[in-house]
Amino acid sequence: MLKKFLFFILLLVSGTVRGQVVYEDINNASVYEFLDELANMKVITLNSAVKPFSRACIAEKLREALAADDLAAANPGGKAPRLNKRQRKELNFYLQDYQFEKVARHDHGDSLRLADNYRYKLGFLALKQRDMAVALNPIGFHYRDSLFTLSIRPILGFNWMTNEHASEYHRWWGGSVFGYVGKNFGFYANLRDNNESVPMSTTEYFTTQQGAVYKYSLSGAVYFSEMRGGVNASVKWGSVGIMVDHIAWGDNYHGANIISGKAPAFPYLMVHLNPVKWFDFNYMYGWLNSNVTDSSRSYQTPDFYRQVSYNKYIAASMITFIPWRGLYLSVGNSVIYSDARVNPVYLVPFFFFNTLHATKTSLTNNSGSNPQLFFNFSSRQIRHLHLFMSIFLDDWKLSRFTAKDQYNFTSFKAGARLSNFPVQNLSVTAEYTHTTPMTYDHFLSTTTFASNGYSMGNYLRGNSQEIFLSLSFHPVRGLQVSTSYTVAKHGDEPPYLSGAGNSVYQVPFIKNLAWQGHALEVSLKYEFVSNGFFLVRYVNSNNSVDAYYQPDFLAGRTNTVSLGINIGF
């Protein structure tokens, strides 16, 4: 069924494809933050509720900003804002990288001309042919002709941390490749090996760092590998692809609360449609790791016990309406289900999964499905100001909103960022997150909102709240000086029990404090080439109550200094 579905989609687009799609890692924070800054100034429009962005989308937004700045320069008395000196340098810096993407003509007739102007500015070191280069910015080997585009890039990095308790490290290496074939298809692959002196992001730890499937050594150090990539086909108004990657849904500046991207990358089918300016649609169908052994399919070989886990899947969609420029209203839903093989009803992107859940299970809660509903609001209608809010609803009823002793399973996030006002190159951010107990859990261990044991929701999980405040200053191109203050609380985690006589809906919010963290952070980051940066960070933190929720070397009051370098994503 799945193979036939994919073949049909590829056959449908094969004759009408005009663009190519390769996705940019959500960890490439610099370019995502620059696009956010441009959108906050109303230089570009941006739907930031669904990440990752495609490289073609990023390229188009950068060229849109360049065209808008040229227009503002030609009309100095107009209302359109001009980029400042630092922003123009940033724009040219990122266009160096995204020159590979061919952007179809949409609103700006000079998009292709701009792409051609940047075509060969690769910083040649060798191979000075017209279509081929070994370059420093972006670092790697690059080839492009009228039919085929290929970019091969190294990945290398090291981060060293020290405080009163210990000194620890994280190092990684690997490579990435992406390319386009004709006007039809894009492909990408990214492989990196990691080594940490101690695990930094287990399923229990409260950290925004992405999770991993660890391999432990006798020395206590851990190793893990990560593979991302995919193949995609696209038309002017949408795309379809099969990928293994991280996903983040919900506007945020410090951890999404719909789909956070914290869980290890998992395989998924993706559909994106943008047929008109006022409508954007995203759908994904993913294969998750349940980490729950299926004893009926597990078996004993002559030498070993073959352990097989229960199947686990997610289907999710997000519809975004844009009634006015800068205003994005999104509604979405998802379902986690297990046991059966791929259910074709969840392959229909536009279905309301909660109704399918009710029909499929005959309203029997323990039949192996767990639906969710979510909303996202984003407004950049006031220049310099981004207002946003996201709501995740798991198990809820209207009557519980007014009841004194009953609670819904919800997560709420709201915040604002003020960019380049009243001080140029300065951003001020405030964000609040509130998640009730049980929100991402389920009484069936095979249908929790998790993969590989990592919650796919907010990194603090249920029964938590967080206040995040930050200042970020960009004095010159590539240099970011930031400070932030985070205070977070997490209550105890009672077992999720369902049925008559159980009070799962009466668990109060943070009645018993299990963990509390305060962190004051100051960091300096300099991006010397595209995807290459130095990082210096100081964190004064106080993680109290239960040490179960952070590495031992971060327990209690600590002053941690970090030094790092990264090349490639």
> Is 217 buried (19+), middle (13-18) or exposed (0-12) by CB count in 10 A?
exposed
Tell me the C-alpha distance between 363 and 368, whole Å.
Answer: 11
In this prediction, residue 16 has a pLDDT band, given cuts at 50, 70 and 90, of very low
Distance CA 538, CA 433 (A): 24
pLDDT of residue 342 exceeding 90? no
Give the pLDDT of residue 104: 41
Residues 131, 132, 133, 137: is their CA dihedral positive or negative?
A: positive
CB 28 within 8 A of CB 531: yes
Query: C-alpha dihedral over 50, 54, 59, 62, to 10 degrees?
Result: 10
Q: Which two tokens stand for residue 90?
A: 């940033």
- With a pLDDT cut of 70, the percent of the chain lying above it is 88
- Position 310 pLDDT exceeds 80: yes
| pLDDT score of 331 more than 60 | yes
Mean pLDDT rounded to a whole number for the chain: 87
Ranking 149-153, 224-228, 251-255, 491-495 by mean pLDDT, the lowest is 491-495
pTM of the model: 0.90
Residue appearing with tokens 């951003």:
427
User: How much is the average pLDDT of 212-227?
Assistant: 91
**pLDDT beyond 60 at 95:** yes
User: Angle CA(566)–CA(26)–CA(142) in degrees, nearest 5?
Assistant: 60
Name the superfamily (CATH) of residues 2-285+309-567: Capsule assembly protein Wzi (2.40.160.130)
Give the DSSP H/E element, type plus range, for residue 35: helix 29-40
User: Within 10 A of 246 (CB to CB), how many other CB atoms are there?
Assistant: 23
Q: What is the pLDDT of residues 525-566, one digit of tens each?
A: 999 998 999 999 999 999 886 678 989 899 899 999 999 999
Q: What is the pLDDT of residue 129?
A: 60
Residue 15 has pLDDT above 50, yes or no: no
pLDDT score of 14: 47
**Residue 23 to residue 246: CA distance in whole angstroms:** 10
Cα distances (Å, whole numbers) of residue 367 to 1, 321, 327, 356, 378: 23, 34, 39, 13, 36
Nearest CA to 375 among 409, 348, 412? 412
Looking at per-residue confidence, does 36 or 401 come out higher?
Answer: 36
| pLDDT higher than threshold 60 for residue 108 | no
Q: What is the pLDDT of residues 111-133, one digit of tens each?
A: 333 344 444 344 444 555 667 88
pLDDT digits (tens, 9 = 90+) for 17-45: 445 789 999 999 999 999 999 999 999 99
**Distance, CA of 202 to CA of 210 (rounded, Å):** 9
Which strand (E) or helix (H) includes residue 486?
A: strand 479-491
Segment 266-289 mean pLDDT:
95
Strand pairing category for 167-181 and 148-162: antiparallel
Residue 382: which residues within 8 A CB-CB, separation 6 or more? none
| Residue ranges per structural domain of the chain | 2-285+309-567
- Distance CA(209)–CA(27), nearest Å, equals 10
Q: Is 275 helix (H, G, I), strand (E, B) or coil?
A: strand
Q: Is 337 helix (H, G, I), strand (E, B) or coil?
A: strand
The two tokens of residue 497 are 């029990």
Which of 47-56, 367-376, 457-466, 502-511 is least confident? 502-511
Dihedrals phi, psi of 352, to nearest 5 degrees: -90, 105
Q: Tell me, what DSSP letter sits at residue 478?
A: T
